[in-house]
Amino acid sequence: MAKINFGGVEENVVTREEFPLEKAKEVLKDEVVAVIGYGVQGPGQSLNLKDNGINVIVGQRENSRSWDRAVADGWVPGETLFGIEEACERATIIQYLLSDAGQIAQWPNIKKYLTPGKALYFSHGFGITYSDQTGIVPPEDIDVILVAPKGSGTSLRRLFVAGKGLNSSYAIYQDATGRAFDRVIALGIAIGSGYLFETDFKKEVFSDLTGERGILMGALAGLFEAQYNVLRKHGHSPSEAFNETVEELTQSLMPLVAENGMDWMYANTSVTAQRGALDWKNKFRDAAAPVFDELYERVSSGKEAERVISESSKPDYRERLEEELRELRESELWQAGAQVRKLRPENN
């Protein structure tokens, strides 16, 4: 494990160089890894594990769309694809990758297969951190570990296929066997992580819920809508408003920021853009800071978890969700986006 200095703060980081795939395969050679759930993270993690030579099976509810998707991806019923309980029985490591609501619902069935020495693996700290609401309390004689890729399972798979990696955090909640560290790092490398940085279950879920409600999705979508609506209100066309709000950011600027950082972006733009960005950055920061403070308080107090559990457990949740997504999809902003994407050179 390396100590890396990030802005004056030392962090524990594990790279592929110090923990190569061959070492991961040696650690996992006698393990049977069961990936439970085939939704957001399941496909990418399981396929990467398989391609890296790990003994992996998939557990999924039979006669479901996810079961059919797993079959389409090459998992063979009765050989590498099983019902959830049979997969758990066969496993020495259970990767619990169902949705948060799914984890709560399946926990009574999963818990009985957590026999001494097994490992329970998460990619999200929700179930453990909010155990008073989820009821997920693992037995004391198993390892409880976490690897959380910093992106979707789709991105994890695409980067893996391209020979790249997606950074992940890792955490150990419970080390019953003395092998939890080797197990968690081996799994993190084998699923295709670029590097792994240390966290704990609580910090992972607090940062994750804040991030996805904030800059990664909620705040980003809100800022898109606010700027687009202002431009449209002042007579700019949908195409112009969308290009200046979304297309230039996603297609031109963010790839360069990812490669070189925001400071490089500021140094390599026009004086007009540079001066305006520097002048307005702090205004947006100061305006948003109270909202982020409120958001973090709701996450850390468990109020956001309570809302997720309450809403997702209602019988009509899927129908109401689809209506909300339909409104988003059919808004002028994202209808304009659909047209702009069709006009990209690679689509013509």
Enzyme catalytic residues: 124
For 72, residues 6+ apart whose C-beta sits below 8 A from its C-beta are: none
What is the chain's percent helix, strand, coil content, to nearest 5?
55, 15, 30
Q: Which of 219, 230, 333, 236 is nearest to 287 (CA)?
A: 219
Helices and strands, counts by H and E, the chain: 19, 10
Residue with tokens 């993690």: 45
Q: Which two tokens stand for residue 168?
A: 């992940």
Q: Which two tokens stand for residue 50?
A: 């398989």
Strand 2-6, strand 9-15: pairing:
antiparallel
CA distance 111 to 135: 11
For 289-298, b/e burial (b = at least 16 CB within 10 A) is eeeeeebbeb
